[in-house]
Amino acid sequence: MKPLTLILRQRPEQRLDLSPLVPHLISGRSIAEIERLELQTTRWRASVGDVFRLRMGDPERVRIEGSCDRLDRIGYAMTGGEVFVDGDVGTQAGRLMSGGSLTIGGNTGPWAASGMKGGLLEIRGATGAFLAAPLAGEMAGMRGGLVIVCGRAGERAGDRMRRGTIVIEGEAGAYAGSRMIAGSLFVAKKAGPLPGYLMKRGSIVLGAGCEAISPTFVDCGSHELLAMRLWAGFVHSYSKKAATLLRRPLQRLAGDMAVLGKGEIFIGSPN
Amino acid sequence: MRVLTVKGVRIDDTFAEAFGMRATALTITADTARWARQAAVTMTGFATSVIGCGCEAGIDCELTAKRTPDRRPGVRVLLFATSTTELQKQLQARVGQCVLTSPGSACYAGIEGEEALKLGNALRYFGDGWQVSKRFGGKHYWRIPVMDGEFVCEATTAVTKKAVGGGNLIIIGRTSETTRAAAEAAATAIARVPDVIAPFPGGIARSGSKVGSKYKGVLASTNDAYCPTLRGAVTTSLDADAGAVLEIVIDGLTSEAVAAAMRAGIAAIVKLGPKRGATRISAGNYGGKLGPHHYHLRDLLP
């Protein structure tokens, strides 16, 4: 069965909240009912029918075509099924998702995978700041699942993440893995300054090092750890680049000694 | 008792009586097959009988690097006990003392199921606060720093309540040499059957036991009915030509696995023939009233 397809009529004049368009919320609804769902974020009403042309299909597989950066909260709290977005999206893509797979064909705004609990989020372009981070006032960011970013990630990727795995195949901005509680963050290309800033626990792997490391991280030598091999085996089907780098010897730095100091940054060899 | 004869080997028309047990499985890996085997052999040592050892354990099979979670050579080990509590106790003690200590080792669940036994979750405290929890692909691992790097251990393994312990074959021959040859052939064949172990030395027991003793407090004593040197002195189960008896005890994760192992063992003994091997095959039971699993030899003939 073909996916349920939503084709953006034109770039919307206001930011839209696409959180109702997840499989578990539209499953069992008729095309008319879906078209009546409201997406506006201002006083001006904007229903699904106003913004998208709909092609009915399997509601467990949602496809959004012609997307743009004004479409926020795509895949919000999704529990299962598949959502594929052909294009860029706005803020908070995949926030609080706990299952299923969300694929963004283009770039995302900030707070993608914020508070994510499970499932797979794949971003084929770049992502903004605060990937997998908590919103203001929240205690923890990502709590489970897998995030793959094929391009660059902005500042503070993995901020306060508690569990789960993030793989960034491009570069990462400053403070990658800041305030990490636990979890695993991989950056294939160079990271910005001060990765792991105030991290308590968790693992950060920097395939190509970083601009500056905090002096509160201490060198523990070069190691070829079995845990990295298990990590490589897990991400192999999602990112061959990450799997290859994880199988090499890595320099282990323990920290951040300014806080608990039970975290670790692994830095790959230059070749 | 009716006796069947297959290729000159007499097979008693009797049955092996076996009991339900709790069991678990582990995958132990190391940098080389030799060290994976060493860890497994050490862990499954002194685990021949639940009567005296707390559990029965053995190596199920060796695993190539392609079949292990960390892509290193490995060994699959099975543990059997009479209760989940005892199984947990034995698992923790044996992995902690024998696998954790073995160079380059790692330990993973070797069976899936709903009920969990603590593995890394119990051993992680050895890390003294430096242990690291990792979750990849729905699996939970503990990384425990040790002197050669890290001991990686899956957090839990599963327990099965469908396991069976006490499947057996009693192998009777004219001499010790021919009886041992038959038992070795059977043990080799049984080792190839998945999901079973023969926990005694080399898979073979020479001191088969009966329940009880003339001495107070002794739970099991020599099976005098099968001791050739007592043939004239006790009510014997042996024929005049019997010079030696050996037993193979089989534990399996399922009843089907135990039956398959017994079938493989009988086939190997029959193939060897009565001249070079055993003249007769029997099985141990308690009249059929104690154990729920009965394996009739006539149903397992090659």
- pLDDT (tens digit per residue) in A76-108: 999 999 999 999 999 999 999 999 999 999 999
Q: Do B149 and A163 touch (CB under 8 A)?
A: no
Would B3-18+163-300 and B22-160 be classified into the same CATH topology? yes
- What is the DSSP pairing of strand B116-118 with strand B106-109? unpaired
Asked if B134 and A223 come within 8 Å (Cβ–Cβ), the reply is: no
Test A230 with B70 for CB contact under 8 angstroms.
yes
pLDDT of residue A16: 97
Mean pLDDT (whole number) for A119-128: 98
Distance CA B195, CA B61 (A): 9
Average pLDDT value for residue range B195-216: 94
pLDDT at A53 over 80: yes
pLDDT at residue A265 greater than cutoff 80: yes
The minimum CA-CA distance between B44 and chain A, rounded to whole Å, is 24
Question: What pLDDT does residue B137 have?
Answer: 86
Give the pLDDT score at B107.
98
- pLDDT value at residue A271: 55
Tokens linked to B233: 């002195």
Q: How far is A87 from chain B (nearest CA, A)?
A: 28
Segments making up each domain of chain B, as ranges:
3-18+163-300, 22-160
Looking at the predicted structure, is the pLDDT value of residue A171 above 70? yes
Q: What residues does each domain of chain A span?
A: 110-268
Class (C level, CATH) for B22-160: alpha beta
Q: Which 231-250 residues of chain A touch chain B by CB within 8 A?
A: 231, 233-234
Q: Do B132 and A229 touch (CB under 8 A)?
A: no
pLDDT, mean of residues B269-285 = 96
| Model pLDDT for residues B210-259, shown as the tens digit of each residue | 888 999 988 889 999 999 999 999 999 999 999 999 999 999 999 999 99
B3-18+163-300 is a CATH 3.10.20.30 domain: no
The predicted pLDDT at position B145 comes to 97
CB contact under 8 Å between B149 and A203, yes or no, is no
Give yes or no for residue A270 having a pLDDT over 70: no
Query: What pLDDT, on the 0 to 100 scale, is given for residue B3?
Result: 77
B117 vs chain A: nearest CA distance in angstroms? 21
A55 CA: distance to closest CA in chain B (Å)? 34
pLDDT at B2: 76
- pLDDT tens column, B221-231: 999 999 999 99
Average pLDDT, chain A: 96
Residue A196, amino acid? G
Q: Residues 25-84, chain B: which have Cβ within 8 Å of A?
A: 69-71
Across the interface, of A201, A225, A234, the residue whose CB is closest to B136 is: A234
Chain B residue nearest residue A228, CA to CA: B70
Alpha-carbon dihedral sign for residues B226, B229, B235, B239: positive
pTM of the model: 0.92
Cα separation, B74 vs B65, whole angstroms: 7
Burial class for B61, CB neighbours closer than 10 Å (0-12, 13-18, 19+): middle
What is the reported pLDDT for B266? 98
Residues 6+ apart with CB under 8 A from A182: A161, A162, A163, A200, A201, A202, B133
Give yes or no for residue A124 having a pLDDT over 80: yes
**For B163, what's the count of Cα atoms within 13 Å in the CB-facing half-sphere?**
31
Q: Which amino acid is at A207?
A: G
- Band (pLDDT 50/70/90 cuts) for residue B286 is confident
ipTM of the complex: 0.91
In chain B, which ranges are E strands? 3-6, 9-12, 15-29, 56-63, 74-81, 106-109, 116-118, 132-136, 139-146, 149-154, 156-158, 160-173, 196-197, 209-211, 220-222, 244-252, 278-282, 293-296
Interface A-B: count of C-beta contacts within 8 A: 46
Q: For position A264, what pLDDT does the model report? A: 97
Using alpha carbons, list the distances in angstroms from residue A264 to A259, B64, B186, B209: 12, 32, 52, 56
A180 vs B24: CA distance, rounded Å = 36
Contact B136 A184 (CB under 8 A): yes
Q: Under a CB-based contact definition with an 8 Å cutoff, are residues A83 and A22 in contact?
A: yes
Check CB contact under 8 Å for A233 and B69. Answer: yes
A84 touches chain B (CB under 8 A): no
Q: Report the mean per-residue pLDDT for chain B.
A: 96
